[in-house]
Amino acid sequence: MQVPLIRLQCGVNSYDWGKVGNDSAAAKFAAATPSDFSIQEEKPYAELWMGTHPSNPSKDLTTQRTLLDLVQDNQALLSKDIAERFGNKLPFLFKVLSVGKALSIQAHPHKKLAEELHRRDSKNYPDDNHKPEMTIAITEFDGLCGFRPLAEIAHFLKTIPALREIVGDSEAAAFESAIKGQDTSTEPAAETKNKKALQKLFGTLMNSSPEAVTKACYAIVQSASSEGASFASGGLPSTSGETLARLVARLNSQFPQDIGLLVFFFLNYVELSPGEAMFLKADDIHAYLSGDII
The residues binding Zn ion (CB under 5 A) are 106
DSSP strands (E only) in 162-285: 267-272, 277-280
User: Could you tell me the smallest distance in angstroms from the CB atom of residue 286 to Zn ion?
Assistant: 6
Of 232 and 293, CB closest to Zn ion: 293
User: Could you tell me the smallest distance in angstroms from the CB atom of residue 36 to Zn ion?
Assistant: 30
Of 148 and 286, CB closest to Zn ion: 286
User: Could you tell me the smallest distance in angstroms from the CB atom of residue 133 to Zn ion?
Assistant: 5
User: Could you tell me the smallest distance in angstroms from the CB atom of residue 130 to Zn ion?
Assistant: 11
Of 104 and 199, CB closest to Zn ion: 104
User: Could you tell me the smallest distance in angstroms from the CB atom of residue 106 to Zn ion?
Assistant: 5
Residue number of the CB atom closest to Zn ion = 106
- What phi and psi values does residue 33 have, to the nearest 5 degrees? -90, 125
Count the neighbouring beta carbons within 10 Å of the beta carbon of residue 44. 21
Asked if residues 280 and 286 have their Cβ atoms less than 8 Å apart, the reply is yes
Of 244 and 280, CB closest to Zn ion: 280
Q: Euclidean distance between the first and final Cα of the chain, in Å?
A: 30
Strands 59-60 and 141-147 turn out to be unpaired
Of 106 and 226, CB closest to Zn ion: 106
Residues contacting 198, CB < 8 A, separation 6+: 147, 150, 153, 175
Q: Give CB contacts under 8 A, 24+ apart, made by 65-74.
A: 67/8, 70/6
